[in-house]
Amino acid sequence: MLTLAPVTIFKKLKLTPEVGDELLHLIVPTLSDLTGVQGEISLSFEKFRVPLGVPESELEKKVELAGKLQLYQISVSTKTPLLQTMVKMLADMYGKKPSDVVRVVENADVKFKVQDGRMYHEGLRFGFPDISADLVATSSGSVGFDKSLDFVLEVPAFLVDKQDLEIKKAPPVRFRVTGTLDKPVVTQIQGGKDK
């Protein structure tokens, strides 16, 4: 077993497509397959245990990692049709001009662990802070190396019920996201039960 003492792997590393594609899609599936991802990240491990001499097919299930991923000023290009439409709608709601590049994470400390072939995360905050500080969603749960999803997403209530802007004071609306990265299944959680 290869083990390491607690260690910081990198601090404020500029994101490149290679780093973004492999690392971010496990913790932040909403940032996968987007173009123009920019920003900086830091990565530190509290636990690092990698078995040696096991078949590659078993390695993902036997690796044990835990640590913290820090995201700084993460922005993406709005070249995908879905993101373009969403940014235009939100910018119109807040009387702002839509931009070709939007910041989706201001600063976030994401705790993570890798266990049994899954990447678990908690504390992820993302949204559109340049449009409005209250356009922030949070996420916690896991993404499998097999691309399966099992996490809870909390979004501001007014994004779900756009008709009633007074709902801004209501608690966030919770959704459970399952399925896979290619075919996510989203169900609203009401009173602790999926709907």
Per-residue confidence band for 24, with pLDDT thresholds at 50, 70 and 90: low
Residue of 87, 141, 91 whose CA lies nearest to 118: 141
Burial 97-117 (b: 16+ CB within 10 A, else e): ebbeebbbbbebebebbbeeb
The arithmetic mean of pLDDT across residues 148-176, rounded, is 74
The answer to whether the Cα torsion of 103, 78, 84, 184 is positive or negative is negative
- Give the domain range for residue 174: 2-194
Q: How many CB atoms lie within 10 A of CB 39?
A: 22
Total count of domains within the chain: 1
- Tens-place pLDDT, residues 62-117: 999 999 989 898 887 766 665 677 677 777 877 888 777 777 777 889 899 999 99
- Tens-place pLDDT, residues 49-64: 999 998 888 888 899 9
Give yes or no for residue 47 having a pLDDT over 90.
yes
